Amino acid sequence: MHHPLLSVLIFATLGHWHFTLALSPEFNSCQIQKPSHMSPLSGCPPGTIFVSANTSDSQADFTSIQAAIASLPPTDAATILIAEGVYHETLNVTRTAPLTLLGQLPATAMALAGKPFANASSPNMNLVQIFQTNFVMSGQDDATSAVLTVAPNLAGALIGAGPTGAPLQPEFGNVDFKAYNLDFQNRAANFSISQALVTDISYANASFYGCSFASFQDTWYTGRNASTYVVDSVIFGQTDYLFGFGTAWFQNVILANRACGGGIVAWKGTNLTDAPGNHYGAYISNSQIIRSPDANATTQTNGLCFLGRPWNDLATTVYLSTFMDASIRPAGWEPFDSARPVIANTTFYAEFNSTGPGGNISARVPIEHLLTQPQVETLDLTIDGVFLEHPKWIDFGYLF
């Protein structure tokens, strides 16, 4: 099922960004829908599990994605192909062994790959939507609302409150979780209710390719000791909709402001005594920030959003070569709340080569670092530099 809003959103950005349809060279032959006389698993890695929401599909191993995940042994890499459809369920990944989720793609995807959208009717390739309707009620941890959780256990998934969050855990979960061409949605969320997460990735390595993530408050969470990579994707949100405690790199993504509350990014940091050499933070590279086509103008604060606010005084957020439309406030950043009315000098907020109306840096808050090319190179603001290695859990062969 196509996601019409996503197609409209991507088309709306074309005046500023050359957005193309991308595929995974490793998995596209598996993901492409096959004629009825062929096995849907043709071209897939050996042992791939097939999930279909269509209960009459005799070739399906499961009708539920979570049932397929629960069936996996704790060891050995696994791949799950998900057929076109809408899946109302919560996904919970606790296994440590690698897991890849593949969304089925239309037969036309190969012809569209690598080409820019030509007009508003250009299709979104993703055929799989996964949604839940949970939101945080009084006394609950934010983690209870997530559509997708990748964490070793419940204790590891918990987010906690305040600038220090939930207690540090000794376990580590999935070492290599990947998802391709899936649309994740928290449909409980609107402009007035509380937090409603789409992801909770904690104590794990996870990467996402050609996906979308839709909510309002706290859409995306990269938790403690987690490393996440998102490429060629769209994230919808309103309040602190990128938040976290780990290391997150967003490459070639669209950040779609449905409204303005708090900042786009709210991050925590950990001191170097607890985690020597860490680069925990949110890094947004070669991306675009726009006002979402479904934004409700009456709920926006003068229609302008902050780039971020510090969840604690060690927060790090960096924007690299990112287009920002007129929905961004000239000051860029704000303190977290009245209890912490100042952005501490231990917070690292930075921009390099921002463009667009909101990328005008002339009125940014003095605490921000406006980086030069030599400073970017010295700080090694690259994927390898931020993750302190060349991550083996990232698919660098993915074309975008």
Lowest model confidence (mean pLDDT) among 67-76, 113-122, 143-152: 113-122
CA distance 171 to 164: 18
- pLDDT surpassing 70 at residue 116: no
- 14, 18, 108, 120, 126 from 116: Cα distances, Å: 9, 6, 14, 12, 16
- pLDDT surpassing 70 at residue 249: yes
87: CB partners within 8 A, 6+ apart: 53, 64, 65, 128, 129, 130, 131
3-state secondary structure of 220: strand
pTM equals 0.92
Minimal CA–CA distance to 179: which of 222, 148, 216?
Answer: 148
Quote the pLDDT of residue 9.
Answer: 44
Phi, psi values for residue 167, rounded to 5°: -60, 145
Q: What would the mean pLDDT of 328-332 be, rounded to a whole number?
A: 96
Residue boundaries of the structural domains of the chain? 4-387
Q: Which residue has the tokens 């607890």?
A: 274
HSE-up of residue 58 (Cα within 13 Å, Cβ side): 3
Residue 295 confidence class, pLDDT cut points 50, 70, 90: confident
CA distance 136 to 117: 37
Give the percent of the chain with pLDDT over 90.
Answer: 74
Domain 4-387 sits in CATH at: 2.160.20.10
- 64, 66, 78 from 71: Cα distances, Å: 11, 9, 11
Quote the pLDDT of residue 125.
Answer: 79
Minimal CA–CA distance to 332: which of 313, 356, 312, 360?
Answer: 360
Lowest model confidence (mean pLDDT) among 20-34, 117-131, 205-219, 330-344: 117-131
The tokens describing 157, both together, are 């998934």
- pLDDT surpassing 60 at residue 13: no
Minimal CA–CA distance to 244: which of 212, 214, 279, 282?
Answer: 282
SS (H, E, C) 139-207: CCCHHHHCCEEECCCHHHHCCCCCCCCCCCCCCCCCCCEEEECCEEEECCCCCCCCCCCCEEECCCEEE
Across all residues in the chain, what is the average pLDDT? 88
